[in-house]
Chain A
């Protein structure tokens, strides 16, 4: 009798098929829907991606950051800088923008990792403020008031012509479709990448550290390295997403790009009400958030207050979020990571 290990479940097999169909549908969608729908989907996909990275940090790495807006802003400004100062093609500059965020994440980690718990959270927020104030001094990209991407830069973007011809639309619509495709690719790569990470030996170590850091160290887990891995990956991804968001907006200012409400508070809300520490959680969370945003965003501060209330209620009555409540009742898992040991009978001779 030998043994094999599997993580698959029936639901996950169905989820794989559903995911492939969804991605295909997502790619084809611009042929069937109007521009405002594409913009909504862009918003959903990018917020989902940000939420997945925050979930990786806080839910899996135990690093509760409230300064992720620093990396959104850095990525966005990295992109504007590369396009305006160096005249780079913004689509090609996206990865560079992620690296820009990563470069600041390294010294940030050296500082913030000396702090624990609430102090870590405050530390990340302080770093974000410092970064915002510093970027506001960068005159080439508009200083404190901000700037727009030059029209010529946007129109000449790699892929715009191709998309325009493919769907028979004008340049501005083609740019939206292109941004949407990039957001779709980024969301899929992020979810897929995080899922692969969680299923790997490193993911198992993350779970072990979360359960018991001292015992994890005693069995050879490099807990410090895991923190670095998670923090740097999340910063790079958050920076890349920030760059894409502002590529689509076409206009940037320090106030907006480093907004703690837009890029951290909403993202935490999405993750927490959906279910922290699961991949499914932020997916549910973004759908709920989008509905609330569409229906009530016009109510201004009342809306924010209501969001806060909903967040608190969910934390009180369903501390593991909506998805947590669903799995507790049904055992459903679309992204299973639990390894099961199975006996494999020897084949008949």
Chain B
């Protein structure tokens, strides 16, 4: 079953074409990685999928429904959860309250029904000890975990992760990857943008390469990385 389908999607900022005729599908249960140089349009692609940006052309289908023009809020209710590349916590709320907002509004549930789920997500993302701390006081790792936790609290079917491992130490990254792998194993479809390749390829089955807003390669990780144009463009190596 297809969970997400982009069909000839384009987006420009003024004269700058940031998403250029991109089409791909994501199957339910899949883990897909997206790579590409800085400014390739990866985060923009996420914003188009979540509805934070509207596409100029093309259509986006989520779980069989055309969502091209519907609001981020409705897409969230349909099952899209996302993390932001630069963490965007609700700084004046506690870590726990950040999750309660997501769980109550993202799933349309009354507050008393979400406590157990929030606690489970806090445990899973190793934030339980920080539950009552204000989100603004978290370290970078804590903020990255909170991004993941808050997205999970909305009960996503499709989880979009934007450079969640960037800036972490080797050990921190390792622990986070284990968490993401467990989330994937629990049945959540994942699309993950990441520069930390070894982290990415240890989870995803398939890679998609963007450059100047265009989709230039897609396929199994090893095959894609072996492609000449990917090595040239992404790694900047003359082969």
Contacts and interface: CB of A to CB of B under 8 A. Distances in A.
Contacts of A214: 52, 88
Given A204-B104, A217-B72, A212 B77 contact: no
A338 interface: yes
Contacts of B108: 220
Contacts of A2: 116
Interface in B104-124: 104-108, 110-111, 115-116, 118-119
Interface in B51-104: 52, 71-73, 76-77, 81-82, 84, 88-94, 96-98, 100-102, 104
Given A3-B116, A4-B115, A200-B111, A211 B90 contact: yes
A338 to B, nearest CB: 6
A220 B131 CA distance: 21
B73 A222 contact: yes
B94 A338 contact: yes
B93 A217 contact: no
A220 B90 contact: no
Contacts of B97: 204, 207, 338-339
B132 A220 contact: no
A2 B116 CA distance: 8
A1 to B, nearest CB: 9
Contact of B105 (A3, A222, A339): A222
Contacts of B150: 215, 219
Contacts of A217: 52, 71-73, 76
Interface string A200-219: 11001101101110111111
B82 A339 contact: no
Contacts of A210: 92
B115 A201 contact: no
B154 interface: yes
Contacts of B71: 217
Interface in A37-75: none
Contacts of B81: 219
A215 B90 contact: yes
A84 interface: no
A208 B89 CA distance: 9
Contacts of A4: 115
Contacts of A339: 94, 96-97, 100
Nearest to A3: B119
Interface in A320-349: 338-341
B44 interface: no
A214 to B, nearest CB: 6
Interface of B: 50, 52, 71-73, 76-77, 81-82, 84, 88-94, 96-98, 100-102, 104-108, 110-111, 115-116, 118-119, 131-132, 150-151, 153-154
15 contacts: A201-B104, A204-B93, A204-B104, A204-B111, A205-B101, A207-B90, A211-B93, A217-B52, A217-B76, A219-B101, A220-B77, A220-B154, A222-B105, A339-B97, A341-B131
Given A201-B110, A207-B97, A208-B90, 17 more contacts: A5-B115, A201-B100, A201-B105, A204-B101, A205-B101, A207-B90, A211-B92, A212-B91, A217-B76, A219-B101, A220-B102, A338-B94, A339-B96, A339-B100, A340-B96, A341-B115, A341-B118
